[in-house]
Amino acid sequence: MGGTEDDGGDSLCKICKHEVKDNEHGLLCEGKCQSWYHITCLGISSQLYKKMYGEILKILIWMCPSCKKQLKQLMELETCADKMKTLCDKFANIEGKVNSISESVEKSFSKPTYSQVAICNKQFSVAKPVSLPNLIIKPKNKQDLQKSKQDIEKIKPVDIGVRINTKRSYQMEKSF
């Protein structure tokens, strides 16, 4: 059961540094180190060894605690790498959507329309829009002027992209 030159490795027990002979019970680590171990150095009973060697080791491999730890760390790193790749993919997807939205916003505001200016002015309380066209209302008398003002206030001219100046219109009509 111990190591020989045919195994291609050193037959010294990694714990006690004594040779693991053929007539002794020993286990070969099938991890990275490929080292031999006496079962007594590992704290494994002869009874457990016989059960392991007879049944378990036919379908499984045995690794020393050091190689198990390295394998566990490697598996954790692979899991982290998979999660990192998933996050990078999600980030790239979000970045693409942000760029698309940004381009869309730039295009829509590259040539402002009257309604866009009016909406911006209304939402952000910016000074009165300067590029809105005037809607000229020419009432015949002061009573019509009051009625027109009330009707116009119901419409909300900014929503339709116009600016209303009823005083100026009335004065202009009166001066003719």
More confident position, 150 or 167: 150
Query: What's the start-to-end Cα distance of the chain, in Å?
Result: 121
Residue 113 clears pLDDT 70, i.e. is over it:
no
Q: How far is CA 69 from CA 63, 75, 76, in A?
A: 9, 10, 11
Domain limits at 49? 5-65
Residue 136 clears pLDDT 80, i.e. is over it:
no
Domain boundary among 25, 40, 65: 65
Residue 4 clears pLDDT 70, i.e. is over it:
no
Q: Comparing 6-15, 29-38, 93-102, 153-162, which segment has the lowest mean pLDDT?
A: 153-162
Q: Find the DSSP H helices in 111-141.
A: 114-124
Q: How many CB atoms lie within 10 A of CB 25?
A: 20
Distance CA 106, CA 128 (A): 23
Query: What is the average per-residue pLDDT within 88-108?
Result: 85
More confident position, 51 or 35: 35
Answer yes or no: is 94 within a domain: no
Answer yes or no: is 49 within a domain: yes
Answer yes or no: is 162 within a domain: yes
Residue 165, helix vs strand vs coil: coil
Q: Which residues contact 157 (CB under 8 A, 6 or more apart)?
A: 135, 163, 164
Q: Which residues contact 73 (CB under 8 A, 6 or more apart)?
A: none
- Give the CATH number, domain containing residue 19: 3.30.40.10
Answer yes or no: is 98 within a domain: no
Residue 5 clears pLDDT 60, i.e. is over it:
no
DSSP secondary structure code for residue 129 in this structure: P
Backbone CA torsion sign across 90, 95, 96, 102: positive
Answer yes or no: is 89 within a domain: no
Answer yes or no: is 76 within a domain: no
Answer yes or no: is 136 within a domain: yes
Report how many domains make up the chain.
Answer: 2
